[in-house]
Amino acid sequence: MKATTCSDAAPFPAGTEPPMTPETIKVACSNCNLRELCMPVGLQPAELERIDEIVATRRKVKRREALFHNGERFTSLYAIRTGVFKTCITAEDGRDQVTGFQMAGEIIGLDGIVSEHHTCDAVALEDSEVCVMPFDRIEELSREVTALQRHVHKIMSREIVREHGVMLLLGSMRAEERLAVFLLNLVQRLHARGFSQSELVLRMTREEIGSYLGLKLETVSRTLSKFVEDGIVAVQQRHVRIVDADKLKRIVNPPAC
| Using rule CB under 8 A, residue 156 touches its own copies | yes
| Using rule CB under 8 A, residue 73 touches its own copies | no
| Using rule CB under 8 A, residue 14 touches its own copies | no
| Using rule CB under 8 A, residue 108 touches its own copies | no
175 binds, among its own copies, DNA, none (CB under 5 to 8 A by kind): DNA
CA dihedral 78, 82, 83, 85 (to 10 degrees): 10
Nearer to DNA, 25 or 217 (CB): 217
Query: Residue 207: what residue type?
Result: E
Number of residues located near its own copies, criterion CB under 8 A = 47
Contact 3, 196 (CB under 8 A): yes
Q: Cβ of residue 22: shortest distance to its own copies, in angstroms? A: 31
Alpha carbon separation from 11 to 29, 101, 149, 176, 194 (Å, rounded): 18, 21, 30, 32, 6
Which residues of this protein are in contact with DNA, per CB under 7 A?
174-176, 202, 205-207, 214-222, 224-225, 235, 237-238
Nearer to its own copies, 11 or 171 (CB): 171
| Using rule CB under 8 A, residue 168 touches its own copies | yes
CA dihedral 87, 90, 95, 101 (to 10 degrees): -10
255 binds, among its own copies, DNA, none (CB under 5 to 8 A by kind): none
157 binds, among its own copies, DNA, none (CB under 5 to 8 A by kind): its own copies
Residue 93's Cβ-side half-sphere holds a number of Cα atoms within 13 Å equal to 1
Q: For residue 76, how far is the Cα from the chain centroid?
A: 17
Q: Cβ of residue 227: shortest distance to DNA, in angstroms? A: 10
3-state SS string over 188-249?
HHHHHCCCCCCEEECCCCHHHHHHHHCCCHHHHHHHHHHHHHCCCEEEECCEEEECCHHHHH
CA distance 125 to 64: 6
Helix (H) or strand (E) holding 34: none
Q: Identify which of 167, 162, 149, 161 has the alpha carbon closest to the alpha carbon of residue 214.
A: 167
219 binds, among DNA, its own copies, none (CB under 5 to 8 A by kind): DNA
Stretch binding its own copies (CB under 8 A), from 12-20, 106-114, 187-195, 217-225:
106-114
Stretch binding its own copies (CB under 8 A), from 3-11, 18-26, 108-116, 224-232:
108-116
Q: Which residues bind to its own copies, rule: CB under 8 A?
A: 89, 91-93, 95, 97, 99, 110-115, 119-120, 139, 142-144, 146, 149-150, 152-161, 163-168, 170-172, 211-214, 253-254
